[in-house]
Amino acid sequence: MKTHGKPVPPGGTIGIVGGGQLGRMLALAAARLGLKTCIYNDTTDAPAFQVTPHSLVGPYDDLNMLATFAEVCDAVTFEFENLPAHAIAHLAERVWVAPGAHALAITQDRLSEKTFVEKLGLKTAPFFEVSSAVQAREAFGKLQGCGVLKTRRFGYDGKGQAKVASAEEAAKAYESFKGAPAILEGFVDFSYEASVVAARGAGGAFAAYDPPENEHENHILRRSTVPSRLTPAQTDEAKRIAKAIGDALDYVGVFAVELFVGKGGELLVNEIAPRVHNTGHWTIEACQCSQFEQHIRAVAGWPLGDPARHADAVMENIIGAEAHAWEALARTGALHLYGKTEARPGRKMGHVTRLKPRNH
Q: For residue 259, with 0-12 CB atoms within 10 Å meaning exposed, 13-18 middle and 19 or more buried, which class applies? A: buried
Report the percent of the chain where pLDDT is more than 70: 97
User: Nearest Cα to 135, choosing from 171, 110, 179, 162?
Assistant: 171
* Overall fold of domain 190-357: D-amino Acid Aminotransferase; Chain A, domain 1 (3.30.470)
Rounded Cα distance between 227 and 223, Å, is 13
Q: What integer pLDDT is reported at residue 189 of this predicted model? A: 87
Summarize pLDDT for 172-203 with one digit per residue, the tens. 999 998 888 999 999 888 999 999 999 999 99
Q: What integer pLDDT is reported at residue 157 of this predicted model? A: 54
| Domain 13-97 in CATH 3.40.50.20 | yes
H-helix or E-strand containing 172?
helix 167-176
pLDDT classification of 360: cutoffs 50, 70, 90? low
Average pLDDT, the chain: 94
Q: What integer pLDDT is reported at residue 100 of this predicted model? A: 86
Q: What integer pLDDT is reported at residue 30 of this predicted model? A: 98
pLDDT at 74 over 70: yes
Q: What integer pLDDT is reported at residue 160 of this predicted model? A: 79
Q: What integer pLDDT is reported at residue 1 of this predicted model? A: 63
Q: What's the predicted TM-score (pTM) here? A: 0.94
Summarize pLDDT for 239-248 with one digit per residue, the tens. 999 999 999 9
Across 134-157, average pLDDT? 85
Q: Are 31 and 88 in contact (CB under 8 A)?
A: no
Fold agreement between 126-186 and 190-357:
no
Rounded Cα distance between 193 and 260, Å, is 5
Q: What integer pLDDT is reported at residue 58 of this predicted model? A: 96
Across 100-129, average pLDDT? 94
pLDDT at 3 over 80: no
- The domain ranges of the chain are 13-97, 126-186, 190-357
pLDDT at 143 over 60: yes
Q: What integer pLDDT is reported at residue 83 of this predicted model? A: 87
Across 257-280, average pLDDT? 97
Summarize pLDDT for 292-318 with one digit per residue, the tens. 999 999 999 999 999 999 999 999 999
Which CATH superfamily, name and number, covers 126-186? ATP-grasp fold, A domain (3.30.1490.20)
Rounded Cα distance between 192 and 16, Å, is 33
What is the full DSSP assignment across 39-100?
EEESSTT-GGGGG-SEEEE--TT-HHHHHHHHHT-SEEEES-S-S-HHHHHHHHTTS-BSS-
Summarize pLDDT for 39-59 with one digit per residue, the tens. 999 999 999 999 998 999 999
